[in-house]
Every structure is written in C-alpha cells, then in structure tokens.
Amino acid sequence: MVEYESYSSALRTAPAPVFANLVHYATLAANGHNTQPWRFHAGTDEMRLLPDFGRRTPVVDPDDHHLFVSLGCAAEKLAIAAAATGRSSEADFDPKDGLRFWFGAGAARAHPLFDAIPRRQSTRARYDGKSVPNRDLDALIEAGKLPGVRLIVLTDRLQIGRMRDLAIACNSVQLADPAFVAELKRWLRFNPRTAMTLGDGLFSASTGNPVMPDWLGQRAFDLFFTAQSENDKLFRQIDSSSGIAVFVGERADRAHWITVGRACQRFLLTATCLGLKCAFINQPVEVAPQRANLANLVGETGKRPDLVLRFGYGPTMPYAPRRSLETVVV
C-alpha cells in the first residue's frame, strides 16, 4: 500500500519553491487560444487545479470542451513534474471543483518526458514532409494510450489529404463567422511587449506572423487576414506534415476531456523527445456540424472527436508567453 503524505505538509518541510516549480511546469501545457484557463491552490492536505471560467472562449468553445482538455494538459505536466521530483501522485476530478492531487513521498528519478516540458511547443510552420520511422510512431501511439481515450494516427497521404480538405472547409466556416473572428482577434498579440506584459494569447511570432505595434497589427489583421490566405497556409502546412493524430474520448463529458488532455500531453512530450514538432488543426472539432464527418474519417462513427494535430520535422519557433505564477495561484 502506498502511503500518501499531504502535499502541503510536504510543502512545509520542503524548500519553498517546490510548489512554484510544479505550477510553473504545469502552466507550460498546451491550451486553447493560450488563455491559460487554470488556477492552482495548495490546500491543507491536497493541491487543486481549478478551471478559470473567466478565461472561457464561448464562441469557439461554447461547452468548455477545450477548457477542460487544457486543464487535462496542465494536470499531466503537473504529474510528470511531481514524479521527476520524487512525488508519485493520485488525482481525482470533480466537475465542480476541478482536479485534486495527492502526492506521495519517493526518490527523485529521471523522467524522460520531464526534460521535454520546457522544449515542447505548438509549431505552426511548414514541416519537411519526411516519414517518421515505425519505431517512433509506435512510441507515439504508446504514449497517447490512456483508458477511455482512442488515438488514431494517420500517415497515409490519401487520408492526410482528406483531413486537410476537411480542416480547410471548417476553417472557411469559422472565418466567415464575425463572432469567431472577433473572439480570435481578442486573443491575438501583435507586439512582443504586449505579449510579455499580458503573458497570454496568440503571439504573432509564435504563430509564424510578423510582429508589429498593436495599432498596426489590428489594421493589418483586418486588411490581410483572409480565409483564402489562411487556407493556402493550412494547405501547405498539412501537406508538409508526416502524419496526423486524432484523439477520441469514449464519452463526451468533462472527465473524459481531462483524460484526453492528459493523453495528448504525453503524445506531445514524446514527440518532442523524438525531435518531432506538432501543431493542432482543430477546426473539424470546433465546427460542430462537421464532427460526424471527422469521426467517420477516422473510423469512429458515432463518437465525438476531441483533438486533431499534425506532426513532422520542422523548425523551432519563438515560444508562446505564459502568465506569471502569482496570477495563477489562489
């Protein structure tokens, strides 16, 4: 039987930065629109990871699916960072209260995914189109396996082409919706100083776009951000990818969305260890009427797919900003 000590008693006896370190690693997780919709709390006998509903994106994510997937991504990083520093962890999830973690004492041990945490990024660039060796594909599939989640990996060019066409069709739907575009624009950060000051949002340089003063960025967005230009970019990016991964939860509820986030983070960190880059192409998940087509495409008819991402070999881009720890600890 494992004896679990309380996290905060460990906190009291351990050097003070331990809690901050764990939170820091957790906040490096992938999350929708980089809103970072999480808060962390060290209680008397547990640590909590709470949803921050003030950071919802109601247009693209009306039922908070992405928000809970993002929490799952942070949860997995927290668990990996804890394991690497000698704390086994158990977590439970309550739809009202978020995740509760208990930590067990143990010896610090090297964790292969831990070192990849600060290096992982969403790389929205063209990749080189090279195939991934089978043993690395197997490692990715193994990493993304968690009970309650199906991971489908496509490497066949015909299937990748079908996914590309679906993503582009959905992108056109989204960019024709003024509410979607207005919400997206709210989270764009054109200027490095603004991006670093706010510590959130989609920073131009990280998304492969030029940096400029905020006023000019807003104008340039209105003038040059068109469905045609974005679709052309998406076409080239998907065609240059080695493969596509699709995560499908067994059920469409918050608990499964958290598990999908955890599985996805393991996949992304394993990809990072293997020298691969990844980027989400979630349009077919976000345009609700197209979800059935996506499910059919990956042989999961009747299910609600959760995440689509592409992977391949590509350049390292500037990293996305993060909010300071003080703003996420409550």
Ligand X SMILES: Cc1cc2nc3c(=O)[nH]c(=O)nc-3n(C[C@H](O)[C@H](O)[C@H](O)COP(=O)(O)O)c2cc1C
Residue 226 CB coordination number (10 Å): 10
Written as one string, the DSSP assignment of 268-290 is: HHHHHHTT-EEEE--HHHHSGGG
Closer Cβ to ligand X, 34 or 89, answer by number: 34
Q: Does 249 bind ligand X (CB under 6 A)?
A: no
Among 77, 124, 256, 262, binds ligand X (CB under 6 A): 124
Tokens representing 224 are 């040059």
Q: Does 70 bind ligand X (CB under 6 A)?
A: yes
Tokens representing 36 are 């970072």
For the bound state, the minimum distance from the C-beta of residue 45 to ligand X, rounded and expressed in Å, comes to 30
Q: Does 34 bind ligand X (CB under 6 A)?
A: yes
For the bound state, the minimum distance from the C-beta of residue 62 to ligand X, rounded and expressed in Å, comes to 14
| C-alpha torsion sign, points 150, 114, 19, 199 | negative
Q: Does 32 bind ligand X (CB under 6 A)?
A: yes
Q: Does 69 bind ligand X (CB under 6 A)?
A: yes
For the bound state, the minimum distance from the C-beta of residue 42 to ligand X, rounded and expressed in Å, comes to 24
For the bound state, the minimum distance from the C-beta of residue 134 to ligand X, rounded and expressed in Å, comes to 27
Closer Cβ to ligand X, 4 or 235, answer by number: 235
Cα 236 from Cα 226, distance rounded (Å)? 16
Region 265-284 residues binding ligand X, contact defined as CB under 6 A? 279-280, 282
Among 202, 244, 269, 274, binds ligand X (CB under 6 A): 202
Closer Cβ to ligand X, 73 or 140, answer by number: 73
Q: Does 122 bind ligand X (CB under 6 A)?
A: yes
Number of residues near ligand X (by CB under 6 A): 17
Q: Does 171 bind ligand X (CB under 6 A)?
A: no
Q: Does 66 bind ligand X (CB under 6 A)?
A: yes
For the bound state, the minimum distance from the C-beta of residue 196 to ligand X, rounded and expressed in Å, comes to 14
For the bound state, the minimum distance from the C-beta of residue 16 to ligand X, rounded and expressed in Å, comes to 26
Cα 100 from Cα 57, distance rounded (Å)? 24
Of 3-11, 27-35, 169-177, 221-229, the window that binds ligand X (rule: CB under 6 A) is: 27-35
* Nearest in space to 102 (alpha carbons), one of 49, 24, 147, 27: 49
Residue 148 CB coordination number (10 Å): 14
Q: Does 30 bind ligand X (CB under 6 A)?
A: yes
Q: Does 320 bind ligand X (CB under 6 A)?
A: yes
Q: Does 31 bind ligand X (CB under 6 A)?
A: yes
Q: 198-221 b/e with 16+ CB inside 10 Å = b?
A: ebbbbbbbbbbbebbeeeebeeeb
For the bound state, the minimum distance from the C-beta of residue 107 to ligand X, rounded and expressed in Å, comes to 30
**In terms of C-beta distances under 8 Å and separation of at least 24 residues, what long-range contacts does 265-269 make, across chains too?**
265/29, 265/30, 265/72, 265/73, 265/76, 265/77, 266/76, 266/113, 266/143, 266/144, 266/146, 267/140, 267/143, 267/144, 267/151, 268/30, 268/120, 268/309, 269/80, 269/113, 269/116, 269/117, 269/120, 269/143
Among 121, 174, 204, 259, binds ligand X (CB under 6 A): 121
Closer Cβ to ligand X, 73 or 245, answer by number: 73
Cα 320 from Cα 199, distance rounded (Å)? 8
Cα 3 from Cα 175, distance rounded (Å)? 53
For the bound state, the minimum distance from the C-beta of residue 28 to ligand X, rounded and expressed in Å, comes to 6
The secondary structure of residue 115, as a DSSP letter, is: T
Q: Which residues bind ligand X (CB under 6 A)?
A: 30-34, 66, 69-70, 73, 121-122, 124, 202, 279-280, 282, 320
